[in-house]
Amino acid sequence: MIIVQLIHNTLSIEGPLVIAEVPRALEEIERRLQAFKGKELDVDLSGVERIDSAGVSLLDEVTVRAAHRSITLRIRHVPKHAREALKIFSSRGRMEPTGPKRDTFFVRLGEGVVNMGRASLDFLYLIADTAYFSIVGLVNKRGLRKGEFVNQSVLIGMNALPIVALISFLIGFILALQSAAQLRQFGAAIYVADLIGIAMTREMGPIMTAIVVSGRSGSAIASEIATMVVTEENDALKSMALHPVRYVLVPKIYAITVTMPLLTTLSVIIGILGAMVISITYLGIGPKPFFEELRTVLYLRDVLTGLAKSFIFAWIIALVGAYYGFRVRGGSEGVGRVTTASVVASIFWVILADSLMGLIFYFGQGVEY
Amino acid sequence: MATEIVKVTNLTAGFTPEQEVLKRVSFTANEGEVTVILGASGCGKTTLLKHLIRLYEPRTGSIRIFDQEITGMDEPEFNTLLRKIGVLFQNGALLNSVSVEENVAIPLEQHTKLSVDLIKRLVHVKLRLVELEHALHLLPSELSGGMRKRAALARAIALDPPLLFCDEPSAGLDPTTTAALDYLMLKLRDELGMTMVIVTHVVPSILRIADKAIFMDKGQVLFSGTLEECRSTGIEKIDRFFAEG
Ligand SMILES: Nc1ncnc2c1ncn2[C@@H]1O[C@H](COP(=O)(O)OP(=O)(O)O)[C@@H](O)[C@H]1O
Ligand SMILES: [Mg+2]
């Protein structure tokens, strides 16, 4: 049990000055420091039985606090056993940070704005590099990873088939169910075909496919590239005069450009089938009238709109994934961080692009729906 | 006078404006010699090596390789130069998704017009040189640390480059593997006349392979000269380095 006593202008500390006692000791001392502003104060350590690193730090801290209040503090009667501890553990005069300082919030905020500008520029460079090498790669296969196009097409396209099919079926099914209940009230049940046909082709098909592919392949692209950066594979490629964008990203761009429209088409068809299940079982409308109705509303233009979106989404997913992958910092924990960030970002940009394209297509062709 | 293959003059570099990782670094590496860069970890050895292959842009200074200034050289020209340089990175940096064989084949496929058969044969030769012919079809993740380094070395020398850069080839390896790797390096120097710049801080390894030594400390060159001179400088830091191994 530590005892802190004040006699005249001497603060005497008695007992073990160890980690368990330090918080209380600091409180006691702090309370008494108040009265000594601008005066002199001695600290008598002769009664200290034991002292550990926390005890020494306490003394350092008290010295600093005293100095802040212009108190002249003298530490006296340091027992023999405590001298060694003071020598080893004292941080006085060594607390000045030697390494670069962490910036304050506002500095970081300012830097954040500057970085954002730089980040957009980096992204533009990435787009430029990718576009350039993608076009060059069509005629010159050199510098591309061998066998990677087929490999990636399987990874991005084939392996996503089941999940895209399942989700699209459920979306078509559930949209049909919700709208059927409403439409039936007006005796307009057959319009389920119009509604789901248009919705799946123009919106839900491309979007749902993009979200699934973002989660599966966008994240895979980000983590693969990020891993290559942190393990110096990226540097190794450059040292072999290979451009990482060309070698790693371009085959993926080709693969995703081919597979996304296919996946989207599949999604649309299965979504419409999902709606048809509802129309047969719940509305009593057979496949024949359903498809005839569909044919009257679905134009080539709708199909092309959906496909155009799927290309744009494909490039967004691949580029955002790659962008996050290339800008990884730190070691393996950085890989996890950018992977997560890339998925969130690519879904955001997909939805933003979808809205923009929705507006463009809507106003671009005159309002005629 | 020996031909200077690498000549760095007053190289200054850093990652942030206020930080200088390399301070006016100058050194040369002569043809057919092993030049070792040593110094405590964090002193800038890797950064220096990466500047030599333009992974980073220097702030000031000149880097001449094969008597050509590489700072400011245009991309295609530098890529041609890179084909004469093999690089072994600190952790091997093999592509993890493809086999050892394919890793070693990359430079051959990308930079030569050799037929597939010939490439296979050459890959085999290089892997036999590093005693890894049995690991041909393994993935990098299935190799031990020492095997990975050796596979990476096979890839680095795939094109028979006259100049080889190695970043800590023997870090984390046991003494026997280290010795084997060192003798392999010496064989490359003696039989192919390769010029090498090797970063390392493994003392026994330095004693075996170094012709010249550059001692770095906190981004500066503390000493450069022959290995014998380096061991008798009387500079405390260097003596301590050799004494403590
Ligand atoms: N990419 C980087 N970004 C910022 N700082 C770096 C980077 N790489 C290295 N550094 C810093 O540069 C210094 C030298 O690092 P490095 O060249 O890797 O040392 P060595 O290889 O001699 O152990 C270290 O202080 C390190 O923190
Ligand atoms: Mg290093």
Closest by Cβ to B18, choosing from A100, A233, A239? A100
Nearest residue on chain A to B91, judged by CA atoms?
Answer: A231
User: Which residues of chain A form CATH 3.30.750.24?
Assistant: 3-89
Compare A80 and B197 and report the one with higher pLDDT. Answer: B197
CA distances, B233 to each of B94, B201, B223, B240 (Å): 39, 18, 8, 11
Compare B28 and A146 and report the one with higher pLDDT. Answer: B28
Q: Is 60 exceeded by the pLDDT of residue B171?
A: yes
Residues 6+ away with beta carbon under 8 Å from A137: A143, A144, A246, A250, A254
- Chain A and chain B share a number of CB contacts under 8 A equal to 54
* Separation in Å, CA of B107 to nearest CA in chain A: 6
CB contact under 8 A, A231 and B109: no
* Separation in Å, CA of A326 to nearest CA in chain B: 14
Mean pLDDT of the region B195-222: 92
- Candidate from A49-63, A85-99, A327-341 with smallest mean pLDDT: A85-99
Compare A227 and A80 and report the one with higher pLDDT. Answer: A227
Nearest residue to A161 via CA among A262, A255, A275: A262
Mean pLDDT of the region A110-124: 88
Q: Please tell me the predicted confidence (pLDDT) of residue A369.
A: 47
Percent of chain B with pLDDT over 70: 99
Residues 6+ away with beta carbon under 8 Å from B198: B34, B35, B36, B37, B165, B166, B169, B185, B209, B210
Statement: the pTM of the whole predicted model exceeds 0.80: no
Give A241's contacts in chain B (Cβ within 8 Å).
78-80, 82-83, 110-111
Q: Please tell me the predicted confidence (pLDDT) of residue A95.
A: 56
CATH topology of domain A3-89: Transcription Regulator spoIIAA (3.30.750)
Q: Is 50 exceeded by the pLDDT of residue A345?
A: yes
Question: What would the pLDDT profile of B98-142 be if each residue is shown by its tens digit?
Answer: 899 999 999 998 888 888 889 999 999 999 888 888 988 999 999
Q: Please tell me the predicted confidence (pLDDT) of residue A93.
A: 63
d(CA B48, CA B44): 6
d(CA B197, CA B214): 10
Percent of chain A with pLDDT over 90: 50
Letter string b/e over residues B113-138, b meaning 16 or more CB atoms within 10 A of that residue's CB: eeeeeebeebbeebbebbebbebbee
Nearest residue to A76 via CA among A46, A33, A50: A46
Residue whose CA is closest, atom 9 of ligand 1?
A: B47
Q: With left for phi above 0 and alpha for psi between -120 and 50, is residue B93 left, alpha or beta?
A: left
Question: What would the pLDDT profile of A217-271 be if each residue is shown by its tens digit?
Answer: 999 999 999 999 999 999 999 999 999 999 999 999 999 999 999 999 999 999 9
Lining residues, ligand 1, CB within 6 Å = B 15, 21, 41-47
For chain A, the average pLDDT equals 89
**Side-chain half-sphere of B211: how many Cα atoms within 13 Å?**
17
Q: To which residue do tokens 């533009």 refer?
A: A124
